[in-house]
């Protein structure tokens, strides 16, 4: 996240603290799609994913005057999102079918759901892991995640096939997941929301 993005979030949070609906709308539009994609990728249910997004932003609106603009808004958003999805998954775990799906989804890898997330630690680990990527893979990952270019746009810009772009992003994400450790759930959330 660039300094200007941090400053932009800080400015928006200050406005939100003062009940500015426009600031809330801007933050919503900035993060709602990422939250939806993450929720849907785990819950596999459009309505549940939409409810998670609505609940996250409802909580943000309710706590708007308490949000500390000096702290990372992404970290705050990360914590709320994580807890809501975990709660939803715990409800789902009562369903035997869904248990089987999760075991398969996480490839039988044991993972521990944690509530003591350290956002800043993950940011540093992610930055280090990105630096370890081979030059071309790092370039493709950066164009995708930092600049938000589509696979087609990246392929055109670099003069390579879309399939090559897809493969390089898949390999980059696999490396990042491995580098960030065995706590798969928060890593996936972080990568989808913020990487």
| 133 Cβ contact list (under 8 Å, min separation 6) | 141, 172, 175
Q: Which of 82, 27, 85 lies closest to 57, judged by CA? A: 27
Neighbours of 5 (CB within 10 A): 12
Task: Give φ, ψ of 66 to 5 degrees.
Answer: -95, -15
| Global confidence as pTM | 0.53
Tens-level pLDDT at each residue, the chain (195 residues): 556 777 888 999 999 999 999 999 999 999 998 888 877 877 778 888 899 999 999 999 999 999 988 888 887 887 788 788 878 877 766 665 655 665 565 544 444 444 345 566 767 777 888 899 999 999 998 888 777 788 899 999 999 999 999 899 888 888 877 777 655 555 555 555 555
Task: Give φ, ψ of 19 to 5 degrees.
Answer: 65, 30
Domains of the chain listed by start with CATH number: 3-84 (1.10.1740.10), 119-194 (1.10.10.10)
């Amino acid at each position: 996240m660039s300094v200007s993005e941090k400053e932009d979030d800080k400015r928006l949070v200050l406005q939100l603290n003062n009940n500015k609906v426009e600031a809330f709308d801007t933050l919503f539009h900035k993060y709602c799609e990422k939250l939806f994609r993450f929720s849907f990728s785990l819950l596999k249910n459009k309505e549940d994913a939409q409810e998670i997004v609505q609940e996250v932003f409802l909580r943000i609106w309710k706590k708007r005057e308490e949000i500390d603009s000096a702290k990372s808004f992404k970290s705050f958003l990360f914590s709320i999102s994580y807890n809501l999805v975990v709660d939803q998954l715990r409800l789902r775990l009562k369903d035997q079918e869904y248990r089987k799906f999760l075991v398969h989804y996480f490839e039988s890898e044991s993972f521990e759901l944690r509530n003591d997330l350290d956002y800043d630690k993950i940011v540093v680990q992610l930055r280090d892991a990105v630096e370890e990527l081979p030059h071309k893979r790092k370039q493709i990952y950066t164009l995708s995640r930092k600049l938000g270019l589509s696979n087609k746009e990246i392929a055109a810009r670099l003069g390579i096939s879309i399939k090559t772009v897809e493969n390089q992003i898949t390999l980059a994400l696999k490396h990042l997941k491995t580098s960030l450790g065995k706590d798969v759930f928060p890593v996936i959330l972080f990568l989808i929301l913020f990487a």
